Amino acid sequence: MKVIAVSNLKGGVGKTITATSMSYLLGVEKNKKVLVVDADQQANSTRTFGRFDPEGTGIMQLLEGENQITNLIQDTPYENIHILPSNMYLVRTNAHLMFSKDNQIDHLKEALEEIRRNYDYVICDCGLILDMTVLNVMMAADLLIIPVKAGGYGIEGAENLQEQIQEIRPDLDTKILMTMKAGNKINRDTEEWMKQNYGNRMFQTAIRRSVVVEKAETAFMPLPEFSKRSNPVKDYKEVIKEIIKK
């Protein structure tokens, strides 16, 4: 079982669309058993997979020790894909964990060990703050994917995240994924600069910009389900090949 975190401290870089697209492609097209962990209080991954309940249970009860992970995981309308959902109560959970005197950053890692044989991949969609929930994800992760919008401020967010993660998980494998790439010179120059600076810590594939991404988000549907032949979906398929090959 491989645990993949998708995170950036800057919003609007394609974090959730990356997590949900990868989950869909691995589960539906690659026939892998996938668990989506929604570690974001906005719960957009939970909405995308049709399991949002503002009063429901999920990762909150797991982190606070109120229930076991097997009782909190839900199925989704998509083959091979289960989800540990989230909602706004995650804000309260983070506050509770922050003021606890006990070790509170290994709950998710320990819980995932219990279900290791049940899944091939765990894809974690992280929030924009390095809070207690995201720290739990980082402690459990085997790979951190940082989406960076071409030509945006996401590069700074990626740098800040890597610096902070380095202190708690210096062994964590990290890969940069360029998103929302257009065909203009600024984007080409940005991609070239990133490849020079990040080298093999960057995916060879970049995700192209397309209006279908916004349409899929508005419809609360996984992008590969909404537009199977779009350029971003073709790109995410190449990213999946890079992950599986590694």
pLDDT of residue 94: 94
Mean pLDDT by 10 residues, the chain (246 residues): 95 94 98 98 97 97 96 97 98 91 89 97 95 97 93 72 86 94 81 83 94 95 96 98 91
pLDDT of residue 155: 75
pLDDT of residue 151: 66
Q: Tell me how crowded residue 4 is: count the other CB atoms within 10 A of its CB.
A: 23
pLDDT of residue 152: 60
Q: Reduce the DSSP state of residue 149 to 3 states and report it.
A: strand
pTM: 0.94
pLDDT of residue 140: 98
pLDDT of residue 187: 81
pLDDT of residue 116: 96
d(CA 105, CA 102): 9
Q: Which has the closest alpha carbon to 224: 12, 25, 63, 5?
A: 25
* CA 15 vs CA 9, 122, 124, 140, 207: distances in Å: 10, 15, 10, 18, 12
pLDDT of residue 213: 95
pLDDT of residue 179: 94
Contact by Cβ (8 Å): 2, 34 = no
